[in-house]
Amino acid sequence: MPLIELIRRHVKTSAHVFIILALLSGVSNVLVMTLINTSAGVEQATLDLRTIAMFGLVIGIYIVSQRGLMRITATEVESMIHNLRMALVENISHAELLSLEQVGRSEILAGMIRDTQTISQASNILVIAVQSVIMIALSMVYVFLINKVAFALSLSFIALSMVLILRHMLTLREELNTVFKEENHLYDGLRDVLEGFKEVKMSVPRRIDILAEIDIAATRARDVKIAFQGRAAQEFMLSQTMIFLLLGLIVFVAPMFFSVEAGAAARTAAAMLFIVGPLAMVTQAIPIFATANAAAENLVRLEHLLQSLATKIPGMIERPLPAEFEEIHFDTVSFTYTDSKSVNMFTVGPFNFSIRQGDTLFITGGNGSGKSTLVKLLVGLYYPEKGVIRIDQQALSAETYTAYRSKFSVIFSDYHLFKRMYGLNVPNPEVIEELCLLLEILGKVRLQDANTFDTIDLSTGQRKRLALLVTLLEDKPIIVLDEWAADQDPHFRRKFYQELLPHLKALGKTIIAITHDDRYFDTADRCIALEEGRIVSDINSNSLQ
């Protein structure tokens, strides 16, 4: 079972510790019942201090063992979940962009949040259920010693009820998987509403369709959950009813057909009443275990999927590249998008061109011309399907791609602005102030806690300027800007082309910008135009002026 597989792989505490603590807790519970049953019919005057002391000792053993078991369980389960989450994040960080895009964010987030929470919430209940099984087993031994007829009846009833419950619960496994799938669809819809809020707000038909899709997914998940909970409630009532019928048989029917002493019948009935609670806990734990096991199955599958997407080869040693370079060359590089059935959808390339260190290169073209794909190939987020990328005549390989990517600072059109400047040393406040002044955001944002901005709640153009500020602090040799100037006002757009780009070029930066601002094409050293995934023109600065 996936849940058992996860526990066996991640839990460090020996199973013997759990078993001993669970046995101590279960035995102490049964001893409490035995002491009470034995002493109930004894005259008060005949009770001695030894019996009372034993009663106190048994309760003490229960408290210590139960607390220890719960503490170890909480520690191990939360450590397991922490390790799972970090392993998933690690696998994500080693996955490639294209593969990750095909998996989908909703499935990943559902695994890391929903499924781990399901296991965490189920852990203590499942531990108590295991204790309850031990208590039931020991109580049955006690019943056997009192009355073998009552033991046979009790064992038969408990076995029958468990078989019925387990048989019914196993039929819900596929329905649980359906619930998780529908909830993933629900997360997709909710993400569409939140991330595409402006687009949803602008179109009533779009809003109606999205809400209808969300309603379908939510309704399916609701219906299956209702059926599951209803079945669980039905099994709980079945187990309770079986116990009541069993008590009736022991107290009313068994004495009519078998030789059963009145005292023995009373003690047996008391023992069976003591079993009611643990049996109810076991019954309630069965659907919880089924849910936790389904969550574990999702996590194991997601873990294996992300591991298969990771491109870091075991034992591979990443190799550095020289700090300085003279030229990046595309040698017959092409890339093809495929659908889920590996059918070719769109191809860009083959590309044959070079970028020299210190160049300012503009890439232009209409929507769908392949500009963004070319940039992803250039910065190493996509790998060429055919051809090779060379840096100073050295062909890139799996060992050098990390070093190659580290040469680029990129602001994509769908960039994410981090509030904290991850991966950067604490910047000099004077440098930050100079850059804010240069980018005209002085007074709009400031640093707090050394490397965290006090706000990123700025206009779109100002957010892009803040992203450029972080890019300049990274101080990498190549800066890639995807439609960066599109959201700037006319004044700052002009400043970007006529002041900022020359300033960056003077610093020795290689600049690659996707742009449609043809009035400023003369500020570039070269301008490459794309159409239908092909380069249709490559013009140098002399022709642009």
Between 70 and 364, the more confident residue is: 364
Residue 389: per-residue pLDDT: 92
Two tokens, residue 60: 């003490």
Q: Is 2-309's fold the same as 327-544's? A: no
Whether 448 has a pLDDT exceeding 90, the answer reads: no
Please, what is the average pLDDT of the chain? 79
| The overall pTM is greater than 0.85 | no
Between 30 and 232, the more confident residue is: 30
Two tokens, residue 1: 């079972």
What tens digit of pLDDT does each residue of 239-286 get?
A: 667 777 777 776 676 666 666 565 666 777 777 777 777 777 777 777
508: nearest Cα among 468, 539, 476, 466: 476
Q: Please, which pLDDT band fits residue 235 given cuts at 50, 70 and 90? A: low
Indicate the residue type of 26: G
Mean pLDDT of 188-198: 68
Provide the greatest CA pair distance for the chain.
114
Give bridge partners of residue 27 from the DSSP assignment. none
Residue 174: per-residue pLDDT: 62
- Reply yes or no on domain 327-544 having CATH 3.40.50.300: yes
Whether 314 has a pLDDT exceeding 60, the answer reads: no
Between 193 and 371, the more confident residue is: 371
Q: Are 500 and 491 in contact (CB under 8 A)?
A: no
What tens digit of pLDDT does each residue of 94-130 get?
A: 777 777 776 666 677 777 777 887 888 787 777 778 7
Q: Are 501 and 360 in contact (CB under 8 A)?
A: yes
Two tokens, residue 231: 């079945």
Residue 209: per-residue pLDDT: 80
Residue 124: per-residue pLDDT: 75
Mean pLDDT of 460-483: 90
Q: Please, which pLDDT band fits residue 513 given cuts at 50, 70 and 90? A: very high
Q: Please, which pLDDT band fits residue 510 given cuts at 50, 70 and 90? A: very high
- Most confident stretch, 75-84, 145-154, 187-196, 322-331: 322-331
What is the dihedral sign for C-alpha 31, 33, 36, 37?
negative
Mean pLDDT of 476-495: 90
Residue 263: per-residue pLDDT: 64
Name the residue with tokens 């048994």.
58
- Residue ranges of domains in the chain: 2-309, 327-544
147: nearest Cα among 279, 245, 272: 272
**Beta strands 526-531; 360-365: pairing state:** parallel
Within 10 Å of residue 156's Cβ, how many Cβ atoms?
12
Whether 464 has a pLDDT exceeding 60, the answer reads: yes
Residue 496: per-residue pLDDT: 92
CATH topology of domain 2-309: ABC transporter transmembrane region fold (1.20.1560)
What tens digit of pLDDT does each residue of 387-443 get?
A: 999 998 889 888 888 889 889 988 988 888 888 888 887 777 788 888 889 998 888
Whether 205 has a pLDDT exceeding 90, the answer reads: no
How large a percentage of the chain has pLDDT more than 90?
Answer: 11
Whether 512 has a pLDDT exceeding 90, the answer reads: yes
Give how far Cα 211 sits from Cα of 190, 222, 386, Å: 9, 16, 43
Mean pLDDT of 309-334: 78
Between 220 and 526, the more confident residue is: 526
Structure letter (DSSP) for residue 545: -
Mean pLDDT of 161-183: 66
What tens digit of pLDDT does each residue of 359-374 get?
A: 999 999 888 888 888 9
Burial class of residue 269 in the structure, from the number of CB atoms within 10 Å of its CB (0-12 exposed, 13-18 middle, 19+ buried): middle
465: nearest Cα among 431, 423, 495, 503: 495
Residue 329: per-residue pLDDT: 93
76: nearest Cα among 126, 1, 132, 137: 126
Whether 67 has a pLDDT exceeding 80, the answer reads: yes
Whether 19 has a pLDDT exceeding 60, the answer reads: yes
